[in-house]
A and B are shown apart, each in its own frame.
Chain A
Amino acid sequence: MKEPGGMTPRERIKNAMDFKEVDAMPWCESFYEETLLKFFSEGLPAHKITNVEWEMSLDGHLLANWPKFMGFDPHSYFGCINFMGCPVPVDIGPIPRFKQRKTREDAKYEEYIMETGARSRRFKKEIGKITWYTMPQFLEFPVKDKKSWEQYKKRLDPEDSRRYPKDWEKDGYLRLFDEYQKGPTTLSVTGFYGFGAELMGIPNFNLAFYKDPELIRDMISHWEYFTIESLREAVETLKDRIDLVFWWEDMAEKHGPNISPRLYKEFLLPHNKRVARFLNKNKVRRIMMDSDGNTQPILDLVIEAGITGHWPLEVNSGMDVRTLRKHYGNKLFLAGNLDKREIAKGGEAMQKEIDLKLPLMKETGGYIAGLDHLVHVEFTLEKFKEYADYLKKKSVIQ
């Protein structure tokens, strides 16, 4: 598993997140599936990135060997790392899930109840055509007020045994997490803003900080309790075998954070700190916030809350690794920030963007290279390969 430079991808990314020496800067990407489908039509060899697992199981018991199509692994093919390579298998969603079902359709759209309980509308898939990725239009959210929250809360019971796999067996997972080397072992956590906005919708959740602060306090307190208690078994078992906590927030847009520093401090910070303390106490130290948009006005508080890294750093929203590094030094490892619009152009534009940012990041460390969001459909396979080759060449530390 060791690579030419001497480190495994896991060692490389862990060292980078810790501002330690690396043989080359790690490179992480996430792909929209539609982009991969487009790449196939442009010549990406499907057999090289298709995962087939030879097993067939029921309730955790292996019944027979049987080939099962398990999706794609483009990361190995292109030579990049998946943030979610080896995920901690805890289900932090509502249990029972809302039954996903189609409630309406017409010639163009389909309406659904999603598994989070939200009602949404999507474009109908046209047979034989790829429906390009788009978020659905949310028509209704499951939490509107105290009453609907109390109902929803019943599905957020951390003690529900269904949160862990039926075959959860400590020794097996300890071995797996020790041995995995293709990338980081990752625990996914939904942050406090992400949680509330997902249940109430961005406008209603934001308004509730003023109109119904007690509801917000109750939701956030419960989310802290739920997060710690549902993860406790996994975190206390795996401890520092968990390399990375992927903390999803999506709490900002181009103009700035959706929530003010004052509200963050008053409502979210104490809870955020307690979750981070629980993780740190168990030697889980690297917590990376996933938020699009311009998070800068709130970053001091986010760091105070215990976040140690940030991705994807959207250039379009004014994020720049050079400014962030200057301001935060090694308090924050950085990931992404290569402008997808420039990189997708290929040639000089792509090289210029990489050459602008990589030298300082190589010098100062604490950086995981990658685009400033998922690999989107505007990339051609040829341009993506060109980018991969150039980035890998430039990432080597002499």
Chain B
Amino acid sequence: MDSIPDRIARALSNLENSNNLKKLINEALKKKIPVLEILEKGLRNGLSEIGRKYEAGEYFLSELLFGASMMEEAMKILAPRLEARKLERRGRIVLGTVRGDIHDIGKNIFRMFAEGTGFEVYDLGVDVNPEDFVRMVVEKKPDVLGLSALLTTTIPEMKIVIDELAKAGIRDKVRVLLGGNAVTNEFGEEIGADAVALDAVQGADFCKEWTTR
């Protein structure tokens, strides 16, 4: 028979209604299953499965968003039971839309999914100056710097940010991930980014890959 964390993972990945998921989490807590196990084997595995289904074309944006929102609801039950030091994060991401661009839908979806996957995300918002990205990389020491841009007219800003990281001598301290409609793999390679994400799930997958120790 499936363990409760497995059932939690399945309830989440099948997008069963939030009440079922909450019931299962409360049942797990009652049975003294460690909170970290509920989180890792239950919720995070469930969210990973949602990501897999999204990539496979079984799920679409609504399902991705609903999954992330169920995860957020579930975390409200678990968070008070987790001591801060025990809430181990997979890694840290600094994120923002580049200067001159105020689009944020894709960036916000990525943030939701990355947080659900277990990353600590510092979202600098939109129209972010290169020097602010650099300052936050120095200050927060993230594993990943996520740069978003929708427009062909603003993607050159991504190169400026990468050049500024190099000037500050910290380019090799952080992976640079690009996202946004106008960004292509060729462009990413040309400007020296580490990867280009087609969507939020692929972006989170890159981050996971880079932070798996």
Q: Chain A residues in contact with chain B, CB under 8 A?
A: 108, 121-123, 132, 134-137, 202-203, 206-207, 209-211, 253-260, 263, 297, 316, 341, 376-378
For residue A210, which residues in chain B have a CB less than 8 angstroms away from its CB?
Answer: 15, 62-63, 66
Q: Which of B85-123 contact A (CB under 8 A)?
A: 100-106, 108-109
- By the criterion CB–CB under 8 Å, are B103 and A135 in contact? yes
- By the criterion CB–CB under 8 Å, are A134 and B199 in contact? no
Complex A-B: 22 CB contacts under 8 Å: A122-B102, A123-B102, A135-B103, A137-B102, A137-B104, A202-B61, A202-B105, A206-B65, A207-B62, A210-B15, A210-B66, A253-B61, A253-B181, A254-B199, A255-B198, A256-B57, A257-B60, A260-B62, A316-B181, A316-B182, A376-B152, A378-B153
A134 to B101, CA, bound (A): 8
Closest residue of chain A to B126, judged by CB?
A137
The 4 A-B pairs at the shortest CB distance, nearest first, are namely A137-B102, A260-B60, A255-B199, A206-B62
Closest residue of chain A to B18, judged by CB?
A211
For residue A203, which residues in chain B have a CB less than 8 angstroms away from its CB?
Answer: 65, 105, 108-109
B14 on the A face (CB < 8 A): no
For residue A253, which residues in chain B have a CB less than 8 angstroms away from its CB?
Answer: 61, 106, 181, 199
For residue A202, which residues in chain B have a CB less than 8 angstroms away from its CB?
Answer: 61, 105
- By the criterion CB–CB under 8 Å, are B105 and A134 in contact? no
A245 to B153, CA, bound (A): 31
Known A-B contacts A254-B181, A316-B184; the reply to A207 vs B103 at CB < 8 A is: no
For residue B184, which residues in chain A have a CB less than 8 angstroms away from its CB?
Answer: 316
- By the criterion CB–CB under 8 Å, are B69 and A206 in contact? no
Q: For this complex, into which size category does the number of interface residues on chain B fall? A: 20 to 34
Known A-B contacts A260-B60, A316-B184; the reply to A132 vs B153 at CB < 8 A is: yes
A179 to B69, CA, bound (A): 55
B59 on the A face (CB < 8 A): yes
- By the criterion CB–CB under 8 Å, are B153 and A211 in contact? no
- By the criterion CB–CB under 8 Å, are A258 and B62 in contact? yes
For residue A136, which residues in chain B have a CB less than 8 angstroms away from its CB?
Answer: 102
Having A134-B103, A202-B105, one finds 10 other A-B pairs with CB under 8 Å, namely: A135-B150, A202-B61, A203-B65, A203-B108, A206-B65, A211-B69, A253-B61, A253-B106, A254-B199, A378-B153
The count of A-to-B residue pairs whose CB atoms sit within 8 angstroms is 79
Closest residue of chain B to A135, judged by CB?
B103
- By the criterion CB–CB under 8 Å, are A209 and B153 in contact? no
B36 on the A face (CB < 8 A): no
- By the criterion CB–CB under 8 Å, are A377 and B153 in contact? yes
A165 to B41, CA, bound (A): 62
Closest residue of chain A to B63, judged by CB?
A260
B124 on the A face (CB < 8 A): no
Closest residue of chain A to B179, judged by CB?
A254
- Selected from A123, A255, A378, the residue in CB contact (under 8 A) with B152 is A378
For residue A378, which residues in chain B have a CB less than 8 angstroms away from its CB?
Answer: 152-153
- Selected from A263, A316, A376, the residue in CB contact (under 8 A) with B62 is A263
- By the criterion CB–CB under 8 Å, are B198 and A254 in contact? yes
For residue B69, which residues in chain A have a CB less than 8 angstroms away from its CB?
Answer: 207, 211
For residue B100, which residues in chain A have a CB less than 8 angstroms away from its CB?
Answer: 123, 134
A206 to B105, CA, bound (A): 12
For residue A297, which residues in chain B have a CB less than 8 angstroms away from its CB?
Answer: 57, 60
A211 to B108, CA, bound (A): 19
A122 to B101, CA, bound (A): 10
B78 on the A face (CB < 8 A): no
B35 on the A face (CB < 8 A): no
For residue B15, which residues in chain A have a CB less than 8 angstroms away from its CB?
Answer: 210
Residue of B102, B109, B181 with highest tally of chain A CB at under 10 A? B102
For residue B65, which residues in chain A have a CB less than 8 angstroms away from its CB?
Answer: 203, 206-207
A297 to B58, CA, bound (A): 10
Q: Mark B37-68, 1 if CB is under 8 A from A, else 0.
A: 00000000000000000100101111101100
B75 on the A face (CB < 8 A): no
A260 to B106, CA, bound (A): 18
